[in-house]
Structure 1
Amino acid sequence: MEEKFFFEKKNQKTFVPLPPNATIGIVGGGQLGRMSALAAARLGYRCHILTPEEDSPAAQVSAAATVGDYEDPAALRAFASAVDVITFEFENVSAAGLELLTSCKPVRPGPHVLRISQDRIAEKTFLNEEAGVATAPFAPIETLDDLRAAAARLGLPAILKTTRLGYDGKGQARLASEADLAPAFARLSPKPLILEGFVDFACEISVIVARGDNGDSRAFDVVENRHRDHILDLTLAPAPIAPQTAAAARAIALRVADALDLVGLLAVEMFVDRDGRVLVNEIAPRPHNSGHWTIDACPASQFEMHIRAVAGLPLPLAARHSDAVMKNLVGAEETALWPQILATQGLIPHLYGKKEARPGRKMGHVTRLFAKGALPGEAGIALALGPLAGER
């Protein structure tokens, strides 16, 4: 185990809550930063965005923005000097850049959390050995011979992934036979890679956890996530799973947040296998696409919880007043349905302010609410989504 992957917890004093009109710095200018900034404004805070992108979705609704590279020391220092506390909506910041920010202002969640979540080998090792939770079997891969040996041990099919920078199905390959090994190894970079044993899962679920600096934690209800072309398509809240499975998933998410000594927000993505076992797939220490339903179905959304934790404010209950279905709007084809979406009663629309609708790009989402306990079946969901029902 490499020392850099882990950390020692330290008893730290509870920090003083940020006063109204303080400025929260957010690293990343995407839609997660945008929705976090909107939640911060409701709580009386200003937000300042660090992003390399001009006119980013988050900057459009924030008080200020520093446009600069995440590894540019001058941009990082200018950004840090203008804010009171720093958080992020985007994990792919260099370790050196993050350490520089940490030397200037408090960063929540802390750098140790980001280092673990940035690297799939570090992440799964931490989950198994430090948090004590189960994942799919895995093996680090540096050479083609490593891959051949790991495939023989873990079995095929299996999933080969980059350890860093992969998302929405990018940076991974499904290996069905030995003939797939060499081409996938040659194609995927940067090295090293990770091979993950295949999980015959019944469904994919996730839990969003908020945790304050005093260890107080709140877990939202377990949701089911359904993907299309490796991109999240639908989230169903609550997940239609057995109560004992949901309880196990929430307990796992809370355990991981405690093991990380998290201050902020954490999404824990999990598989439920055919035997009902819950296995952690990956973690994200920030607001998450599978938590967007909370904006409309909960008194305090995941974004408000994120800001409260970062600002040192009390955390309310992660309560749900309605059942919900969240549908992503991906690419130009679904975004073109915007007039029909706005004309459909019951659909709650959210657009992210992105200029260009590229294939696979998340442009917005819609939410449909239902009375608690009244989440419909497949036909009812399709009917409720109206013009977005599509082929499922």
Structure 2
Amino acid sequence: MGVVGCGTVNILLKNADLIAHRARCRLEIVKVAVRNPKKPRPVPLPPDLYTTDPFRIVHDPLVDIVVEVMGGLEPAYELLMTAIKNGKSVVTANKELLAKRGSELLDAAKEMGTDVYFEASVAGGIPIIAALKQSLAGERVHRIVGIVNGTTNYILTRMSRDGMSFEQALKEAQQKGFAEADPTDDVDGHDATYKIAILAAIAFGYRIRVEAVYREGIRMIEPTDIRYADELGYAIKLLAIARQEGEAIEVRVHPTMVPKTHPLAAVSDQFNAILVEGENVGRLMFYGQGAGGAPTGNSVVSDILDAARNIVFGSKARIVCTCRPHAHLKPISEVESRFCLRMEVVDRPGVLAKIASVFGTNRVSIASVVQRESRGERAQIVWVTHKTPFAALKKSLDEIQRLDVVHHVRPPLWVESE
């Protein structure tokens, strides 16, 4: 039982009377599956509640609600599917499982007439799932854009505010418990990809193939990128974006230059924030702690309470999955955006003209260009484009990299303009 599990148990015990009043029943913790029953834990549970066999829980007739906070695909998938087939309600915080195999669990729950709740799977303590599924059930959501990974936001904040390198900021995040020993899921954008796939499916009503979501991480961000962005009036954030225009749906995750006047630019450290734009409600912003035992545990408890109410009032499967078959996502090559480009070139007359000619040939319109004072025989040039298709930009950069006057072209940074 990890941080989220302990947070959940402590809330259930501390607020037992309040929860019983609101659920119209008293909740009892029947069993807790752990790897090591003798390991000290910050929860006042008697030793006889622990088991090392999680399948005892999903087959136990005394258990009505199964809570899964173990993470990963297996054995979580088999456990939850077994619980559903046994008619039990399920609460999970497992974003990877939901993004990759959630449709199977939801279909099974619909068939069995039971519930699957997953508020804690996205943005910890922020109630974004409930907002999309219930408060905005009659709204046409056009766009979701958010900071949904606290680890990367903490790293980028430290790089921006304190001038740290990526490696230094990551090491500090690990020391403070904001990043795992293996930070791949966070810094390479997998975690944010799982979360935006879940949000997009709820908002747009289509199942999203997580492998089709365009993804970039933050490993390639350098202090120089942060500095140039700051001078141009931007902050760099790892954004998760989902957008629907007509039948076209785009879902992507990548580092983005956000104007300092934008509300997401001010979201710092491990905090999360999500903007939802709808036809009638306009722009809504959800902000709060995106991780941690207490915030995430609160979302788990909220789901447990909802599941308990449904059991008490005989209303299980009241809200079922209504998603249509998998959406065909707009190819990233066709997605249009503004971009910021940094390159190191030979410092001599005519270089800017050569590069600008390539952009012109590929119909990439330039909004601004800045050339810093040269160091020896090399100069740094920073370009900001108008909106352009990603394919045209990539073609231009491939051609520019081959010019004899160009030493190096950095990966492009997306620029948020909405």
Higher relative CO (CA 8 A, sep ≥ 6), structure 1 or 2? Answer: 2
- Is the helix fraction higher in 1 or 2? 2
Q: TM-score, normalised by structure 2?
A: 0.28
Q: Which of 1 and 2 has greater Rg?
A: 2
